[in-house]
Each structure stands twice: as C-alpha cells, then as structure tokens.
Amino acid sequence: MRFITRWTPRVTFALTAILLAGCQTSGSTGSSKPATAAPIAQAAAPPPPTAKNALPFGAGTGFVIETAEKRLKPGNLVLHGGGGGRNSDGSDPFFKVSEFLTLTGALAASEKTICFIEAANPKAEPFREVIAENGEKYIKLGIRADNASTTTRDPQVLSAIERCTGFYFGGGAPELLSISLLEKNGSDTPALAAIRRRHTQGATVFGASAGAMMASKTMLCECGSGSSVEALVDGKLRLAPGLNFAPNVLIDAHFLERGLIGRLVEAMKVLKEPFALGLDENTAVLIPSDGSPWTILGESGAAIVRLTDADKPYEALEIDLLADGDRYDPKMRTVIVAPERQPIGPSQSTDSIIPEIFEPGGFSNLLRLAALNTYGRAAGLSKVAASANIRITATRTPETRVYFSPKLPLDRAYSITGLRLRINAPITRRGAA
C-alpha cells in the first residue's frame, strides 16, 4: 500500500511533533512537456531561447512586475543545500548570509539589513535587532508556528520587513514554514505578502536547507537518509505547500550527503514535476532576477534531474552533476561548464558497483563511475534495504560529457552532463500503482 503525507496550512502545530527535527537531523537509514538532453557549452553564453525549447519560468527568475510608478525587477534567489554532514566545516549557513547576499549584489543600499525567518525552527528566537561589527543590521522576526497568528500580523514585524534588503529562510522542519507563513486557505499571511513584495522590489531571498526547499510550489519534508528507501519501497513521501518563489523546479537539499535521489524521483513522479534540482550540503545555486543562467556555488555539487517521459518516471531520467562555477540555463536546458574544468574521456576499468547507494557521497560516486569507467555504466545497491532489491543504474549516452580539473578537491573537480538514470525498486515493480 502506498501512502503520501501531505501537510497543509490547516495542520495544527501539535501534529508536527513527529517531524520537528526535519532537515536538521541526519536521519536513518497530467503530463508534462518532455525535456530534452542538455547541450553543453563551455564558458560561452547560450543562444537565445526559441518557442520550441523555451521553458516558462515564474516568480523570482526574471519576470517583470508593472506598478503604477515604475517597472520593478525582483531580487535574486539564492538557495543553499544546508550543512552538518561529513564535509561540514562546523559553521551554519547563517554565517554565510552576508557573503552570499553581497555576492548577488542585493545589498547595494547604504544600510544593509537582513531579516531572518526561522519559522522552520520551533525554538526560533523572539523578535530582536542586532547590529554587527561591520555595520550590517540583522533582524530576527521571531515568527514560529505557535505564534504565527499574531507575529505575521504584528506591526513591528511588518515594519521591519519593509526595511530589509535581504531575507534569510533558515533550516529545520519544512512543514513549519507552511504552517507559519501561509493562511489556512493557502494564501499568504501579511508577513509573507510583505516579503514577497520586497522581493519584487529587489531584495534577495536566501534559503538554506528547509529554507531552500520552500522555494518550490511543493516542499519535500523529512530529509533523513532513510527517506529514499521509504519512497522506493513504500511510496512514502512527506509533502507540504511551498512558498513558490521558484515554482517550476522541485528543490531538494542535503541531496548527495543523504542519498536523496530515491525520494526526489518519486516526488517528481507523484507531483508531475519534470525538472528538479538537488543541492548538496555547503553548495548553493544563484538564480538571477534577470533570467540569466543559474550559477552553482560552493564546496560540493548540485544535480539537475530531468524527466523526459512522464509515462516512464523511473527510467526516462537524465541527470547532470554540476559543481562550483558551472551554470545552467533552464530555458534552453543548457549547461555552461566552468573554464577551469576541461573535457576528458573514459579512462578507468574499475568495479562498476556501488554497494550502498544511499550512504554519504554514494550517489555522486555512482555518477562519476558511470561517466569514467570503460563499461559505460554503473549500478548502486542498498544494503540497508537488501531484501527490497533496490538497484539504481547510471548509463553513459552519446550526449554524456565529462569535465575535470586536477587542481580542485574531488567533490568539485568533476562536471558531468547527459547521463541516463534508471531505478528498479519495489515501487517500480508494482507498476507505480
């Protein structure tokens, strides 16, 4: 029997108790228009989109809003995959907010003010303002699920939002963001409406972990390492309404560290989402407001997953593994590889089996092995769910390209595009019923 937990704004705070840890814990173990393979360009601008291959994109990705006074472009969107895993430097994305917002150019104003929305954390601090040594002002809005009915309407909170040049959505339990910031009918609370308005006026929105996944129209909840096994064995997903800053892409966080490919693909099938982005820890994507290509930033990688045939959700999958400095144009579905990585061909005759696909780094190792070994494919199994006989196969195609820099650490030395992915698991053998 398959079941899906869908969180809605009507769910009470008490019902979230089993998921309060959310993405803070490492955990245990209609048809869409088909996408096409991602062409490759290296350090070159993509050609202009055509009607045939253009992918419409919405809020936060380059649309222009008309007002009675002037035309306003929204601010940039920066989504971070979170931290806390084996490669974590011990710092929280909180401390990188100013760096990322400055990088996007969002803090051009003389007074730099960042509002913190930590509603995903049930222990978020109450409202307070802090002036840092560098003169930047941080405002913790104090919105939580247990006080949202008042804080999202508090004149002090709404006034603070109007002064902010950047907004940081922190990590925790994703569903608490829905409960805190959406009304019972699914509309924006006054606080979220004000944040969205400031975003249309140029303020950057930055999200980490749960705060990154909120950007989709639907959020994936509970991102422990066992969630892929649950999805592929029982069809179990935990979903919540997203805040819809990037509506045409399904966002996942902690992606490579926690082996979340299984639950992402199952969610793509259930939600009929043909396009997804899996952000690893210590890695972010910059989505510019002018509609230009997205940029991957950070210490690890990000996976672009495309479903090319909605009728074959477990086998018609294409995937790119991108790293720091690579860019992706969702309108053209074009990858632009950073110039420090140069093309290489298959060169290894190594074992083509990954014994535990869902362990930290297991899925990225699978992709590298498939791209580099002379067999042209590699398979990943799961010892955690040995009786379920899960098998994920990555295969090189004529469109596959591999780029490498010997000067970079392993986690960001490779860029790989155009691999084919196939999943065999109990949920697929039941005919996706």
pLDDT (tens digit, 9 = 90+) per residue, 391-405? 999 999 999 999 999
Which residue type does 299 have?
E
Task: Give the DSSP letter string of 54-110.
Answer: -----TTTT--EE-SS-EEPPPPEEEE----STT--S--GGGGHHHHHHHHTTT-SS
Closest among 276, 284, 287, 274 to 316, alpha carbons compared: 274
Q: What pLDDT shows up at residue 410?
A: 87
Q: What is the pLDDT of residues 146-170, one digit of tens each?
A: 999 999 999 999 999 999 989 999 9
| pLDDT at 36 (0 to 100) | 42
Q: Are strands 317-323 and 414-424 parallel, antiparallel or unpaired?
A: antiparallel
CA distances in angstroms from 198 to 86, 192, 217, 350, listed in the order given:
36, 10, 19, 53
Q: What is the DSSP letter of 15?
A: G
What ranges make up the beta strands (E) of 280-413?
283-287, 294-298, 301-307, 317-323, 327-329, 334-337, 342-344, 353-354, 377-381, 391-395, 401-404
Which part of the chain has CATH 3.40.50.880?
Answer: 4-15+57-337
Question: Among 394, 397, 330, 323, which Cα is nearest to 362's?
Answer: 394
- Would you state the pLDDT for residue 398? 95
Q: Considering only CA atoms, which of 122, 210, 115, 224 is closest in space to residue 159?
A: 115
Q: What is the pLDDT of residue 368?
A: 95
165-76-87 Cα angle (round to 5): 100
R_g over Cα of the chain? 21
Q: What is the pLDDT of residue 41?
A: 53
Question: CB of 251 within 8 A of CB of 218?
Answer: no
Taking the alpha carbons of 21, 225, 396, 425 in that order, is the dihedral positive or negative?
A: negative
**pTM, to two decimals:** 0.82
Which residue type, as a one-letter code, is found at position 228?
Answer: S
Enumerate residues 6+ apart whose C-beta is below 8 A from 50: none
Positions of the chain with pLDDT under 50: 1-4, 6-22, 24-37, 42-71, 90, 93, 107, 432-433
Query: How far is residue 345's CA from residue 372's CA, in Å, rounded to a whole number?
Result: 7
Residue with tokens 């966080």: 253
Please tell me the predicted confidence (pLDDT) of residue 87: 54
The candidate with the shortest Cα–Cα distance to 7, out of 176, 132, 143, is 176
The answer to whether residues 283 and 301 touch, using CB atoms and an 8 Å cutoff, is yes
Q: Report the alpha-carbon distance of residue 400 to residue 180 in Å, rounded.
A: 43
- Please, what's the b/e burial string for 112-147 (b: 16 or more CB within 10 A of its CB; e: otherwise)? bbbbbbbbbbbebeeeeeeeeeeebbbbbbbbbbeb
**SS3 state of residue 263:** helix
What's CA 26's distance to the chain center, in Å?
A: 17
pLDDT of residue 347: 84
Topology of domain 4-15+57-337, CATH: Rossmann fold (3.40.50)
